Amino acid sequence: MYSIKEIYKTIQGEGAQAGSAAVFVRFSGCNLWSGREKHREKAVCKFCDTDFVGTNGINGGNYSAAALFQRISDIWGTSNNKLIVFTGGEPMLQLDEKLIKACKIHGFKTAIETNGTIPINFQVDWVCVSPKEGSELVVKSGNELKVVYPQLGQNLKELESLKFDHFFLQPMDGDQGRKNTDQTIQYCLENPAWKLSIQQHKLIGMP
């Protein structure tokens, strides 16, 4: 069974696939933070702004592989260019080859957004890794590396040596959002190996 916080169709707002329609499947749970405010200060990832606790979101629940795929398919509808984005929390705590195969058999392109601390031992069409300073990065290749910026102590030059097709910096949201955005823009201007990623879905009012 898979514990799912929410499933919804939206426009991908970040990274190289920004602007694409996709069904987002948000798994419950993460290995870098419990998701509860009382644990944030001691968490590895202290800046997460996503609710991934429990199964009480839209279309949330505990699903078998067959039931989960059916719900995804129903939400997508009958149009082509099928895309599923598995996210979290940390999707690799639950995502497995059985679910990926079910999606691929029915013509869906599969994507994952992961913190990169758990190996991916099956084929996913699009791998986006968002490393968190203080964690051990084990997924060192993929389609895009998307770094929330700034993170104290993070060595971006070292990350540039990894085997990714795209390198994105995304301004950290929150009270310092404007300042972080300015710093991110400046870093990209001075280091063109990196491209700016903004959370477009927030700007257009989509989940």
Q: Which one from 10, 173, 181, 201 is the annotated catalytic residue?
A: 201
Q: Which one from 6, 14, 27, 30 is the annotated catalytic residue?
A: 30
Q: Which one from 6, 14, 90, 113 is the annotated catalytic residue?
A: 113
Q: Which one from 6, 14, 24, 52 is the annotated catalytic residue?
A: 24
Q: Which one from 45, 103, 128, 188 is the annotated catalytic residue?
A: 45
Q: Is 50 a catalytic residue?
A: yes
Q: Which one from 50, 96, 106, 165 is the annotated catalytic residue?
A: 50
Q: Is 45 a catalytic residue?
A: yes
Q: Which one from 6, 14, 27, 48 is the annotated catalytic residue?
A: 48
Q: Count CA atoms within 13 Å of residue 72 on its CB side.
A: 28
Q: Is 48 a catalytic residue?
A: yes
Q: Is 113 a catalytic residue?
A: yes
Catalytic residue set: 24, 30, 45, 48-50, 113, 201
